[in-house]
Structure 1
Amino acid sequence: MKITPIASDSMGTRSMATFVETGDVRVLIDPSVALGPSRYRLPPHPLEQEKMEEDWERIVESAEKAELLVITHYHYDHHNPSDPEIFRDKKVFLKHPAVKINKSQRMRAKYFLEGIRDLPETLEYSDGQRFSFGETVLRFSPPVFHGTDSRLGYVTEVSIREGDDCFLFTSDVEGPNTTEQARFILKEDPTVLYLDGPLSYMLGYRYSQACLGTAIENMIRIIRETRVERFIIDHHFLRDLMWRERIQSVFEEA
């Protein structure tokens, strides 16, 4: 199994776009990229705009190679309704557009589905489902909170398993904070984990110290109780300038 991060916050843009190749199939997860309208009271720099354009080109190139495209939820850094052509003749797996979804994402999902119409070869709602392609198995979690509660909606986590290798992509769990978010990770027992870490750059505003503590406890538990060999923590977490200090105990455990 080969796993290639295409774009991410640690690489300069808001994204978790990831390309996964197995002996059976090529999968592109969350093919989109965005910029924050303001970070630390600063608008995007022209170099960030340039980087976003470069990342989108890489996403399009990866989509051309992929047979399967996955959308875990309907925020614009995870799906791009402006370029439906990347879905042409692909097998597409989507977070359900009408179940376990908030109003904003429901409206975005409706617009997105109207845009892609009959372009995909197949389209499946993936929530809680399992799909096999040769010796490769994709499993999707039931919908879990985007963050600590339902205000921002729900996402699906996804694992890709080939033989003894298992890659797990959490999408926007911002933690993990909840039992349901952590349960899927522990059950799938990944060897490579790509985690959307704590929303600590909003600590004391939209994210409490208690939530950070729970996320740290869950990360340590994952290290202790799974086969994880490579543990990537990115996305919301890497927007915090003090990210390393926030989870020092996790580094020590690892």
Structure 2
Amino acid sequence: MHIEILGTESLGVRGLCCLVITKERRILIDPGVALGYLRHGQLPHPFQVAVGAMIRERIIAALADATDVVISHFHGDHVPLVDANPYQLPMSSVVEGLKGPRFWAAGSEGLSRAMRQRREAIGRACGTSLPVAEGKSEGPFCFSTAMPHGEEGNTLGTVMMTRIEEDGFVFVHASDIQLLERRSIAQILEWKPDIVIASGPPLYLYRLSRSAQQRAWENGRQLAKEVPTLILDHHLLRSQGGIRWLDRLNGSTKNHVICTADYMGEKRRFLEAWRRKLYRELPVPAGWHKDYAHGRADTTGYQRWRGWDLSKMKASLL
């Protein structure tokens, strides 16, 4: 099994998109990407916009020869969108790629109207209604029942976790559980994974209570103790505090607690957490974002920052 993680916060974007390659399948999980539309009153910096465009191309390339597509939930950083903003993955760019793979999707129960519409739009694009995979097992796959997106009972809905096994090796994609509820942690441990990728807690949100933060830490400690390689990313790494939290958790165990960039052997790109720094060091002229949205500006001139040279980075899959 080969695991290629395509787009997460430690790679410079929002998302949790993975490509899992087995002997017989190419499984794309959560084919979406986004950039935080406003952080500290600032739109995405053009350097991050350039990174996002590169990752969009990677996702489109992966979708072109995927045998299976898994959708954990229907938030805009996890799926292609009919009404995508300039920093998300537009449905129009992946319509052909959606027609070939077999889909495994979270159900529609409890979805908001907007999420139901997104689910239906993907079904129309692939020429069929999306099947509900929650609670099912088939071949290398095992899917969880609906789990809370963060804390139980919030307005963010639910997510579906995915277990993939080949030759006794188990990978779990735990999506946006944020380590905040015990039952999702119990399910992961019951699956006995070798590698887990999951969203850590959203420490950048002031509304996250101290008790929730403590619960996430305790759940993270348990996973770190029992899972050989634990990849925590996504919501956790949108702030400097989340970066410190990750490294502190890694120091508490003999196992590996890392972010996606560490796992992929790349330099960490916490561009969501570094937006203010980007604007200070690479100034952006007024009106750039409006011009970019209308095709009158591009990211030329914003390809290099702090040792990164995007023009030299591969935009294709390894």
1:102 and 1:154 in contact (8 A); partners too: no
Determine helix, strand or coil for the equivalent of 2:240.
coil
Over 3 Å counting, the alpha-carbon distance change for 1:65 and 1:108 in structure 2 is closer
Hey, what does 2:231 align to over in structure 1? 232
**The one of 137, 153, 159 aligned to 2:157:** 153
Hey, what does 2:119 align to over in structure 1? 109
Give the root-mean-square deviation of aligned CA atoms: 1.7
What is the CA distance between 1:179 and its match in structure 2? 2.0
TM-score of the superposed pair, with normalisation by structure 1: 0.89
What is the CA distance between 1:24 and its match in structure 2? 2.4
1:173-200, Cα deviation, whole Å (9 max, x unpaired) = 12x1112211211111111110100010
Q: Within 5 Å, give how 1:1-254 maps onto structure 2.
A: 1-81=1-81, 82=91, 83-97=94-108, 99-118=109-128, 123-132=130-139, 137-149=140-152, 150-174=154-178, 176-202=179-205, 205-224=206-225, 226=226, 228-246=227-245, 250-254=249-253
**Distance (Å, rounded) in 2 between the aligned partners of 1:210 and 1:247:** 18
Unmatched runs of 5 consecutive residues or more in structure 2:
82-90, 254-318
What is the CA distance between 1:215 and its match in structure 2? 0.8
1:70 and 1:92 in contact (8 A); partners too: yes
Greater Rg by CA: 2
Hey, what does 2:295 align to over in structure 1? none
1:100 and 1:143 in contact (8 A); partners too: no
Unmatched runs of 5 consecutive residues or more in structure 1:
none
**Distance (Å, rounded) in 1 between the aligned partners of 2:110 and 2:138:** 21
Letter in 2 for 1:126: A
**Distance (Å, rounded) in 2 between the aligned partners of 1:201 and 1:75:** 18
2:194 and 2:229 in contact (8 A); partners too: yes
Determine helix, strand or coil for the equivalent of 1:56.
helix
**Distance (Å, rounded) in 1 between the aligned partners of 2:49 and 2:247:** 32
What is the CA distance between 1:253 and its match in structure 2? 2.2
Letter in 1 for 2:209: S
Identity %: 27
What is the CA distance between 1:50 and its match in structure 2? 1.6
Q: Which has the higher contact order (CA 8 A, sep 6+)?
A: 2
**Distance (Å, rounded) in 1 between the aligned partners of 2:32 and 2:10:** 15
Over 3 Å counting, the alpha-carbon distance change for 1:14 and 1:249 in structure 2 is closer
What is the CA distance between 1:250 and its match in structure 2? 2.1
TM-score of the superposed pair, with normalisation by structure 2: 0.72
Letter in 1 for 2:100: D
Letter in 2 for 1:253: S
1:33 and 1:77 in contact (8 A); partners too: yes
Letter in 1 for 2:24: D
What is the CA distance between 1:129 and its match in structure 2? 0.9
Determine helix, strand or coil for the equivalent of 1:125.
coil
